[in-house]
Chains A and B, each alone.
Chain A
Amino acid sequence: MNDNKNNNRIELRGVTVQLGDRVVLEGMDLAVPEGKVTAVMGPSGSGKTTVLKAITGQVPISAGEIRVGDVFVNQLSARKLNDMRRNIGMLLQNGALFTDLTSFDNVALPLREHTRLPETLIRKVVLTKLHAVGLRGAAELYPRELSGGMNRRIALARALALDPNIMLYDEPFTGLDPISMGAAVRLIRQINDVLGITSVVVTHDVTEVPRFADYCYIISDRKVVAQGTPAELENIDDGVVHQFIQGLPDGPVPFHYPAPDYTRDLLERH
């Protein structure tokens, strides 16, 4: 267990998030150990993206607290929040590159914005980052000229531009072929270890998790249902975990979004 507070880079305690009328997270406790790769898994719509957005302060929380390093996200002023975000790199679910900028300019943007480096140095940094994701050759291309997977890799280079000390990945593997997948898995591990940073990876890909993660959380139905090292999770005798790890369509996790009774629904509507 991660009881040792000083060893946790990020800590969520009793976090509740409400979006519109819907409670998306409820009393969630989650800790991310310093210097490790932590995987967050769970069925679609269980609130994984919301966890990441709560950490970066993009969604407001209605109860609990979130600590990142030595600051509490929910108490920060706009300026302090920006200071914190400068140390966090986040790879969004679909890349979110700026479509009117080339790959090069996309990666250069945070550098131009937040540093006073001369343009020659910015060029060197950008090319290094692009090289790291294997797309130095695509520097002058626009996002629309790249495939979905390539977009995501440019976005990764952009997230790494400012040498963050925390990296958050939202489903980095979706849409990758097996080769790129292997490369991405290795890249995430390397970035974490070589740069000595802390990583959180949100993923559906249960089979890949043991290859890069030090610690795992499974969330379902608004809260954490299981946690442990990948090896520990394999042996947990819990319905939800079992269903999720084995990929079974039937089990405690409903495939359906909450809805009124099916038969009644069918009969009621003419």
Chain B
Amino acid sequence: MTTGSVTGKLFVDPVKEMGRAVLFLFTALSRMRFGKTQFLETMRQVYFMGVRSLVIIMISGFFVGLVLTLQLYDTLSRFGATEALGTALALSLFRELGPVLTVILFAGRAGTSVTAEIGLMKATEQLDALDLMAIDPMERIVQPRLLAGILAVPALVLVFNVMALLGGVVFSVFMMGIDGPSFWGNIQATVALGRDFMGGMFKAAVFGFLASWLAVYFGWSSKPTGEGVALATTQTVITTAIAVLLTDFILSAFML
């Protein structure tokens, strides 16, 4: 049911899609049930979505920390302000880069596979089979993935931040010979626990929810064909990236 015109493509269709995604979310939330089966299935998904993203998050985190410190060092040394290096690094990581980069990597690594998995389950009638066995696929398939994403992303953001700080320390202290205690002391003195750190973690939780919601939604609504599933995984990555950046701007504007 696409509106043929250009306005339709640019405006009406995305709004319709958003409406469907919201309806889908409400249905999923209203059918949630909590018990041992649901808990174990959620933990399984934490493994598939979180643990399996750990390596890429750790490597990316380390190198982002390394290169970010390098750039900051270069910029700050022009003003003779390299003592602010630790602070600048920690603030940009905690407040922006940690949550945003992690969730975009997460969408590429775990979001796509969730979308493809659900899309394939739909194409091979596995979702129908659950329905026929009087098992609600919303509760058995969607719910654990939704919850696992919300748990896994903040954990991954924390790991990313730790690795990036490590990268920062490696570059500044071991390679540039900056005084370690003062580097770290500056971080401790200026990074606010509530506003900077917890604020960033709040973002991480919101992004985790967004990423897993979009991943399950696009899988659920994909056309049950190879092409449909392929399209859905692409949509997951693109939409998550845009939604996260937009939400990030709104949240940052409110939090500052």
Direct contact of A and B (CB under 8 A): yes
A contacts, CB < 8 Å to B:
56, 58, 82-83, 85-86, 88, 90, 92-94, 96-99, 109-110, 112-114, 155
Residue from B120, B129, B133, B134 in contact with A83 in the complex, judged by beta carbons closer than 8 Å:
B134
Write out the residue numbers on chain A whose beta carbons fall within 8 Å of the beta carbon of B131: 56, 58, 85
Docked-complex contact A109 and B132, CB < 8 angstroms: no
Residue interface mask B127-139, A partner, CB < 8 A = 1: 0110111111000
Residue ID in chain B nearest A88 by CB atoms? B132
Contact B132 A58 (CB under 8 A): yes
Interface residue B126 (Cβ < 8 Å from any Cβ of A): yes
Q: In the complex, which residues of chain B have a beta carbon less than 8 angstroms from the beta carbon of A97?
A: 126, 129
Interfacial chain A residues near B252, Cβ < 8 Å: none
Shortest CB distance B76–A (Å): 50
Report the separation of the CA atoms of residues A97 and B125 in the bound assembly, to the nearest whole angstrom: 8
Chain B residues within 8 Å of A, Cβ to Cβ: 37, 120-121, 124-126, 128-129, 131-136
Q: B125 contacts A85, CB within 8 Å?
A: no
Docked CA distance A94–B125 (Å): 8
Rounded to whole angstroms, the CA-CA distance of A99 and B126 in the bound complex is 9
- Chain A, residue nearest B140 (CB): A113
- In the bound complex, residues from chain A placing their C-beta under 8 Å from that of B128 are 58, 92, 96
The distance in angstroms between the C-alpha atoms of A35 and B126, with both chains bound, is: 29
Tell me the smallest distance from the CB of A5 to a CB of chain B, in Å.
Answer: 26
Q: Are A85 and B132 in contact (CB under 8 A)?
A: yes
Cα–Cα distance between A85 and B132 once the two chains are bound (Å): 6
Q: What B residues does A110 contact at CB under 8 A?
A: 133, 135
| Residue on A nearest B120 in the bound complex, by CB | A99
> Are A85 and B134 interface neighbours, CB within 8 A?
yes
A109 in contact with B133 (CB, 8 Å): yes
| Cβ B133 vs Cβ A93 within 8 A | no
Q: Which of B124, B134, B135, B136 contacts A96 (CB 8 A)?
A: B124
The residue that B125 contacts in the complex, of A82, A83, A96, A114, with Cβ under 8 A, is: A96
A–B complex contacts, Cβ < 8 Å, 24 sampled: A58-B128, A58-B131, A82-B134, A82-B136, A85-B132, A85-B133, A86-B134, A92-B125, A92-B129, A96-B128, A96-B129, A97-B129, A98-B129, A99-B120, A99-B124, A99-B126, A109-B133, A109-B135, A110-B135, A113-B133, A113-B134, A114-B133, A114-B134, A155-B129
